Structure 1
Amino acid sequence: MVQAAILFVALAATPGADANIAVRVDTEFARDVLAEVCSNQGIDDAAIRRSAVVNTMVDHFAQFRDDFTMDAYVEARRLAAECKSASKDIFRFAQVIEERESLAREIKTIHNSQAGYSSAIAGMLSDYTPAGVKFSGAATLVIGSPSCGGWSKAADFYVDVPCVKSDEAGLQYLIAHETYHAIQNLFMPETPQSPSLAVVLNGIIREGSAMVVADHSTIEKPGAYSEHSLRIARTNKRRMKANFELLDVSAFYLAGNDRSDAARVIDTIGLSGFYDSPFYSVGAAMTRSIDSHLGREALLCLMQAPAQEFFAAYASLPESEQAFRLGPHTLAGVQGLRSDASRTQGHACLSGGNPDQVATE
């Protein structure tokens, strides 16, 4: 127990001091697709089907709809080469065809500014990454996808360019947010499979801290995508008290529910875009409070502990330092999740991460 606790504290070092983060912005796929659009030339069917980017995209979206197939994508590419779009334009090539010239200029600008993009993104991420963490990943720009936003696989993130067109800062912040999720996997505990409350609490911390890393309110001249993100943030700021109450209702629901999909039900309400992701704002508010009152090292230390310790630490803050208090059902659920081992980790973070203090527990 003591050895494990000391190892835990060693990982919670000064943020960014020795973090080695590299994020490459890859424009090759987007440029190749754009060069093909309205070219009136035949497509390379076999090359498209072999493409790692295409296979990652199709595999990802096939989870949600049966018509997201490789055959449908190849046909969409064939039509786009002829300056046409499918009647059921699930890969949104009609917009690409209409905006192909401005998209080409956008991609060229990003391509010529790759070093600046990569450096700025790495700077945002290193501030919220424990020392010693090494990360290397790519943000691949995609033309012709079903998603207005992006998706990720392992250390790589894929972003739909038309959605963030003419919003260079918005693109940077979107990449930073999603890349931070990949970095979280390197230092945060694995997302638990159960109990349901632990699953939800873990998601709240992950999404809330990623919101803080890529805070759109710091953008001086937000474009359309950033304005959309800011609108959601303003809505949730107005609803913040209700969002904390929604978490408490959710904790009550999960405490008395043995449904195998209970966590998914709550995720859909609180952590999906259906209702403007209210739990993102809860997690962001808690992250800011802990960071402000306890410091960055304590914040990153708590993110390495089981999720219940992050929530317990927030609840222990003076009421004036809390955005809103956690409700009784949330607090009861958090206390029910705590164990001697998790308490030891939480105590280490709150006592300054001193191994000697942990060893005397």
Structure 2
Amino acid sequence: MMKTVAFILFLLVNLKSFGQESKKPSSQPDMAIQLDFGSAQAVTNLLAKTKTTDAELDEIAKLYGNQQLIRKVTSYNKTGTEAAFKQTLREMVETGTVKGNDPFEWKAVKAKLPEIKTLVRQLETKASFIEDVKALISPYSPATLPVKARACFLVGGGALGFTIGGDDTFNVALQKIGDDYEGLVYLVAHELYHTIQQVGERHRTNGKTAANPPKHIDNAYTLLANLWSEGSATLVGDFTKIKQPGGFSKEQQEQYDRNGQRSRQNFALFESLLFSAFHDSTANLSELYNIGFTVAFDETSYFMGYRMAKVIEEYRGKDVLAGLITKDPIEFCQIYRAIYTQFPDKNIIRFSGSTEAILTRMEAWKDKL
């Protein structure tokens, strides 16, 4: 039986890192981050072969990261089961292709195999990786909030980066990155920030009695919470700051540019979704979410939230954004609203009257959800 050696590197910010004492400045968050390359290594090593066994496939499928991948693929494609993971992976290894349904996108992985291997080697040997990520997220994170997170590097599936439930693990699909190391740093910063947001949410709601809001409040809150979380994370991992972008980073910068050119339309679209969520009891929240926060419509609400976060950073500072980690997401919109009210002569996109009315009515539920 093959023995899979998972390359797992622990970086404890306030202990020792790479054999040297790491002194954490008081302004930096207290983070312990585990990097797990085991799943990516196992699959890429297998794809370099021409034969495999049931035992080998079973062992690879049971790896922590690949279990995360299977759960994610199954969430949007019911054929993406563990059995399909093993069957299609065997087909890819032994025939060089997947003729039928390919829910884990092994053909795309195989095509990028040399680039993936190069990137994994960089991750294994580049001691500064986690420091590069921390440099992006530290200014936007509260120093008093201890965070433990696991970064799991995978290959396969359609998602670029994802988290599942309340697990403090964020997952990144390396076949989407190619050999763009700097792009990976920014993507990991985005996903790690979501983990910090999850920790902040637990801290905020700890000890509270669970609220049972009306459906329209719950639906509106879901959209507003995602507007804050994705917008803030898109600012933390801001691809526009990369001066010499690789292929993946160029694609991300093009998405920033497209959405920047239609900022007012992005606002109007999200506000229409919010209006429907709040006022229409028959509205399908999943479809509203998909319009605003998935690639089906170019993740337009990510970039509305990003623009709002940039305005807050400019007029209130990074510390205010860091403070929002442990506050109700509605506060994100209220701070933005206060800024454009204070500076009416600036080029700041204002909410519509109906959105302002919804936010006012949501205030009664602030800190209860």
Q: How does the TM-score come out when normalised to structure 2?
A: 0.81
Runs of at least 5 residues in structure 1 that lack an aligned partner in the other structure: 1-14, 344-361
Superposition pairs for residues 308-319 of structure 1, below 5 Å?
A: 308-317=330-339, 318-319=343-344
Superposition pairs for residues 169-184 of structure 1, below 5 Å?
A: 169-184=182-197
The residue identity in structure 2 corresponding to 1:151 is F
Q: Which residue of 2 aligns with 1:161?
A: 174
Distance in 1, matches of 2:118 and 2:325, equals: 40
Distance in 1, matches of 2:191 and 2:366, equals: 30
Superposition pairs for residues 58-207 of structure 1, below 5 Å?
A: 58-82=70-94, 84-88=96-100, 89-113=102-126, 115-143=127-155, 145-153=156-164, 154-188=167-201, 194-207=217-230
Q: Deviations over 1:17-62 (max 9, x none)?
A: 1511233433232222222224234231331343222222112211
Q: Which residue of 2 aligns with 1:224?
A: 247
The residue identity in structure 2 corresponding to 1:152 is T
Greater alpha carbon shift after TM alignment, 62-71 vs 103-112: 103-112
Q: Specify the SS of the correspondent of 1:288.
A: helix
Distance in 2, matches of 1:241 and 1:197, equals: 20
Report if the CA contact (8 A) 1:20-1:132 is conserved: yes
Q: Deviations over 1:200-237 (max 9, x none)?
A: 11110000000110000001111222111111111111
Distance in 2, matches of 1:265 and 1:158, equals: 24
The residue identity in structure 2 corresponding to 1:31 is Q
The residue identity in structure 1 corresponding to 2:135 is G
The residue identity in structure 1 corresponding to 2:31 is I
User: Alpha-carbon deviation of 1:254?
Assistant: 2.6
The residue identity in structure 2 corresponding to 1:20 is D
Counterpart check, 1:281 vs 2:291? no
Distance in 1, matches of 2:51 and 2:82, equals: 20
Report if the CA contact (8 A) 1:289-1:322 is conserved: no
Distance in 1, matches of 2:223 and 2:111, equals: 41
User: Alpha-carbon deviation of 1:303?
Assistant: 4.5
Greater alpha carbon shift after TM alignment, 20-29 vs 326-335: 20-29
1:104/1:313 Cα in 2 relative to 1: closer, same or farther (>3 Å)? closer
Report if the CA contact (8 A) 2:28-2:139 is conserved: no
Distance in 2, matches of 1:277 and 1:244, equals: 12
Distance in 2, matches of 1:204 and 1:99, equals: 33
Give me the identity figure in percent. Answer: 21
Greater alpha carbon shift after TM alignment, 219-228 vs 292-301: 292-301
Q: Which residue of 1 aligns with 2:69?
A: 57
Q: Which residue of 2 aligns with 1:250?
A: 273
Q: Which residue of 1 aligns with 2:237?
A: 214
Q: Deviations over 1:155-178 (max 9, x none)?
A: 222221121012111111111111
Report if the CA contact (8 A) 2:161-2:171 is conserved: yes
User: Alpha-carbon deviation of 1:341?
Assistant: 6.5
Distance in 2, matches of 1:171 and 1:287, equals: 22
Greater alpha carbon shift after TM alignment, 292-301 vs 229-238: 292-301
Q: Deviations over 1:104-144 (max 9, x none)?
A: 2332122111x21111112212211112112222222222x
Q: Specify the SS of the correspondent of 2:248.
A: helix
Q: Specify the SS of the correspondent of 2:350.
A: coil
Q: Which residue of 1 aligns with 2:359?
A: 334
Distance in 1, matches of 2:239 and 2:221, equals: 28
CA RMSD in angstroms comes to 2.5
Q: Which residue of 1 aligns with 2:7?
A: none
Distance in 2, matches of 1:327 and 1:284, equals: 18
Q: Specify the SS of the correspondent of 1:87.
A: coil
User: Alpha-carbon deviation of 1:286?
Assistant: 1.3
Q: Specify the SS of the correspondent of 2:76.
A: coil
User: Alpha-carbon deviation of 1:322?
Assistant: 6.0
The residue identity in structure 2 corresponding to 1:61 is V
Q: Which residue of 1 aligns with 2:349?
A: 324
Structure with the greater relative contact order (CA < 8 A, sep ≥ 6): 1 or 2?
A: 1
Distance in 1, matches of 2:316 and 2:48, equals: 56
Q: Which residue of 1 aligns with 2:17?
A: none
1:132/1:319 Cα in 2 relative to 1: closer, same or farther (>3 Å)? same
Q: Deviations over 1:278-317 (max 9, x none)?
A: 1111111111212221223333334433233321221121
1:58/1:328 Cα in 2 relative to 1: closer, same or farther (>3 Å)? same
Distance in 2, matches of 1:16 and 1:237, equals: 35
Greater alpha carbon shift after TM alignment, 279-288 vs 246-255: 246-255
Distance in 2, matches of 1:18 and 1:104, equals: 32
The residue identity in structure 2 corresponding to 1:33 is V
Q: How does the TM-score come out when normalised to structure 1?
A: 0.82
Q: Specify the SS of the correspondent of 2:221.
A: helix
Distance in 1, matches of 2:159 and 2:62, equals: 24
Distance in 2, matches of 1:49 and 1:277, equals: 31
